[in-house]
Amino acid sequence: MTITIDQDTCTGCAVCTDVCQAGVIRPEQDGRPAVRDDVVGACIGCGHCEAYCPTGALLMRPAGASAPLAADTTLPPERLATYFMSRRSVRHYQPGPVPRERIEALLEVARFAPSGGNGQPVEWLVVHDPEQVRTIAGIVIDWMRGLSVGDHPMSGRYAGLVAAWDGGRDVICRGAPHLLIPHVPAGNPIAPTDAVIALTHVDLVAPAFGLGTCWAGFVAMASWTYAPLREYLSLPAGREPAYAMMLGRPRYTPARIPERRPLRVTWMERGEAEEK
């Protein structure tokens, strides 16, 4: 990673030295920032220095061209809260595929999700063919059949889902035209959480793209252990599926925000817990 500072446009505000968590940028005796060559290898490429520079004097390379932000990028909290609270798990989809360009635009937002140490380990498998989604749902049902006849703690639930499938209902992928499967390096203990964070970004932003999602937990669980499904997904060597999500255009539009359980918060103040 190369960090350059344009001294002609740098005002010496030293914000970059404050936000650099790795200590790669430090103030010189005159107070102006400089890159520490002896520790530049510790840079994780988080981009805080470039993001917070008010004059654009600091640039990181290799990286794409940074986009300047408008003076005010905030949204009214009430409007943003309503948007988040109106999010629904979509289990009824319109027929027909979503264009690849729209899905890529959605995943582009998730590319900026936080990750441990800015490792950015998440890559994506997009199952775009609805018939392949249906095939995956069938493989998951086969996995459930084997677990529904023993003493597995979910055997009763799986037996009911298998019966529904045999009766003609897609209770696994709910007729969604697409599946998103984030995958991460095998053996990385932090990466699965990074993938769930990225998938949450997709989940929350999707309605703004006219799309709906639903967390495909049964697909995810089968993908972790069931060899036939892992073989069908054919992920690159050394990569593991982290979760799965259904995606498509929702058939219905929510008109209300249903109530949830009351908020429960425990405050820690002066060493004592006060539950509100």
pLDDT in tens, 208-252: 999 999 999 999 999 999 999 999 999 999 999 999 999 999 999
User: Rounded to an integer, what distance in angstroms lies between the CA atom of residue 250 and that of residue 175?
Assistant: 11
What is the CATH T-level fold of the domain 83-248, as seen in this structure? NADH Oxidase (3.40.109)
Domain boundaries, the chain: 2-61, 83-248
In the chain, the N- to C-terminal Cα span, in Å, equals 47
pLDDT in tens, 46-91: 888 888 888 888 887 755 556 666 667 788 999 999 999 999 999 9
pTM of the model: 0.85
Q: What is the pLDDT of residue 74?
A: 80
What is the CATH T-level fold of the domain 2-61, as seen in this structure? Alpha-Beta Plaits (3.30.70)
